Amino acid sequence: MAVPLWLRAAALIATSVALLPLIYLIIRLAQFPLPDFLDTVFSARSARLAYTSLTLTGTVTVACLVLGVGLAFLVTRTQLPGRLILGVAAALPLAVPSYVAAFGWQSMNALINPGTSFEGFLAAAIVITSVTYPYIYLPVVAALVSVDPAQEEAARALGRGPVDTFFHVTVRQAAPAITAGTLLCAIYVIADFGAVSILRVDTFTRAVFTSFSMGFDRLGGVALSSVLLVFTLCLLILEGRVRRTGTRYSTLSGEGRARPARFSMGRWGLPILALAWAPVLTALAVPLSALLVWSLRGVSRPGSLAEIGSALLSSLWAAGLAALATTAIAIPLALWLARRPSRLARLLERTAYLAHSLPGVVIGLSVVMLGIAVLPALYQSMWMLTLAYCALMLPLALGPVLASALSAPPELEEAAQSLGSSPGMGYLRVTLPLMLPGILSGALLVLLTTIKELPATLMLRPTGFDTLATRLWTYTGGESYAAAAPFAALLVLLAAVPAWMMISRLLKEVR
């Protein structure tokens, strides 16, 4: 079915607006004198930042790989008692934003060891690992559950033992999910700002924000942002290559295929179960216990409830605008991709995912420069903040909206047109109602993700506009843990909604 010209134009204009920050960043990179730019990028400070950023990314990624794959194996392929409970609990740290986890660990340290500090490289590695390993754990669980048991049975029939079969047959089939989850974890660590800033680890994201907040060193910020852009591009290219070249395995079983074999741990069952629960309980108990203790103290402060309510309303207002704008932008692009995707449509989709993968500080810095140089009347307004959110969140809305557009039969649009409706009215009366569940899901996901967004909000919020995340940031900077805790607790509760949506799907697969 041909895509109307007006729909392609709407998709192109709307998506270009969302990608404006990325486009403007590239323009500003081209405007700086090359010698000054190279001096900044290849300076000793940039080398230290690169070493710290890459070392932290490598350390956390390896730790998450061990935790994620190990827990996924224990949940899906063993007969451990209570493995379903372990499976749910292992995914729950996904609901804790990294900067909330950093606040929780730091404030717990203040309760247990007053006068000491919990910060530095090791602290950041522990905290980020504790909330990042689900990015590997969840896809590996899904992959291990979907592995065809008939291929494992065939391997055992040919003389391979259970362990040999698992590593040479099962793991190979799950390798694309393991690789994709590992690269996603690396992208997350490279982009992290809140945890490394609270724990005082000098990475590129913290340096970009510092160059903005301390006198606004535009050259330094843009140059360092370009390095982050290159790192992210390399990871995305690697992820795309892995996805394209990953081996595909056919299914030998029919629809009523048998369940995969599960290993018995024997006398090692209880020690292994205790070992599996240790990192999960640590990741959950430390920050949540600290939030509970400090929240009880924080809500007793005079005026605290009014302050919390005001920040919550501001968060919902900003996130609601982001959800409406981002979903409106996603709809025409999703329809274009669903009906007849062209190279231009695919390019817009991939560029949107690139912008989403960039650290929030990079998008925030780009929008700040855009506001100062091109749109000064809109600088530090909700318009610019919403623009940054659209650039960061577009793929979150595009995924569910595109899925619903693909499930809406184009024949219904043709039938509406044959009955006298214009193409536009056909989309409005027939297609959009069918897409409504996906549109609402995308808008909800954008809403809940925007609420916990920190760096771009810090850089672009209007004067006097405070969200839950910025209030937490302000109080944590002054070590006012009791004042910060209620904001952190609300952020965890709100972030738990999309996390539970993923966990509920996991439960259906593991049973």
Give the span between the Cα atoms of 389 and 396, in whole angstroms: 11
Q: How far apart are the first and last CA of the chain?
A: 41
With CA atoms as reference, report the closest residue to 365 among 221, 228, 217, 192.
221
The mean pLDDT value of the chain amounts to 81
Using one digit for the tens of pLDDT, what is the confidence trace for 123-138?
999 999 999 998 889 8
pLDDT band at 156, cuts 50/70/90?
Answer: low
| Distance from C-alpha of 448 to C-alpha of 495, rounded to nearest angstrom | 6
Q: Return d(Cα 184, Cα 186) in angstroms, integer.
A: 5
pLDDT bucket at 65, cuts 50 / 70 / 90: very high
Fold for the domain defined by 1-28+301-478: MetI-like fold (1.10.3720)
- Give the model confidence (pLDDT) of 295-330 as tens digits: 887 665 656 788 888 999 999 999 999 999 999 988
Say if 1-28+301-478 and 32-247+274-297+488-510 have the same CATH topology: yes
- For residues 435 and 117, give the distance between their C-alpha atoms in angstroms, rounded to a whole number: 51
Closest Cα partner for 398 from 443, 358, 340?
Answer: 443
Write down the pLDDT at residue 429: 64
Confidence grade of residue 139 (pLDDT, cut at 50, 70, 90): confident
What are the extents of the domains in the chain? 1-28+301-478, 32-247+274-297+488-510
Domain 32-247+274-297+488-510 falls under CATH 1.10.3720.10: yes
Question: Which residues are within 8 A (CB) of 352 and not within 5 positions of it... i.e. 6 or more apart?
Answer: 15, 18, 19, 333, 394, 395, 398
Is the per-residue pLDDT at 187 higher than 80? Answer: yes
Exposure of 99 in the CB half-sphere (CA atoms within 13 A): 27
Q: Is the pLDDT of residue 184 over 90?
A: no
**% helix, strand, coil for the chain, step of 5:** 80, 0, 20
Q: Mapping DSSP to helix (H, G, I), strand (E, B) and coil, where does residue 264 land? A: coil
Cα–Cα distance between 359 and 456 in angstroms, integer? 9
Report which of 120, 141, 129, 127 is spatially closest to residue 58, judged by C-alpha positions: 129
CA 72 to chain CA mean position, Å: 20
Residue 246 pLDDT class (50, 70, 90 cuts): low
At 89-114, the pLDDT tens digits run 898 888 888 999 999 999 999 889 88
Give the pLDDT confidence of 441-494 residue by residue, as tens digits: 888 888 888 988 888 898 889 988 999 999 998 888 877 888 888 888 888 888
Give the tens place of pLDDT for each residue, 16-31: 877 787 787 788 777 7
pLDDT on residue 216: 55
pLDDT of residue 250: 47
Under 8 Å between Cβ of 93 and 134:
yes
Which of 2-11, 241-250, 375-384, 412-421 bottoms out in mean pLDDT, i.e. has the lowest? Answer: 241-250
Any idea how long the chain is? Answer: 511
Confidence (pTM) = 0.82
pLDDT of residue 323: 92
Q: Choose among 375, 377, 359: nearest CA to 458.
A: 359
Does 400 score more than 70 pLDDT? Answer: yes
pLDDT at 399: 81
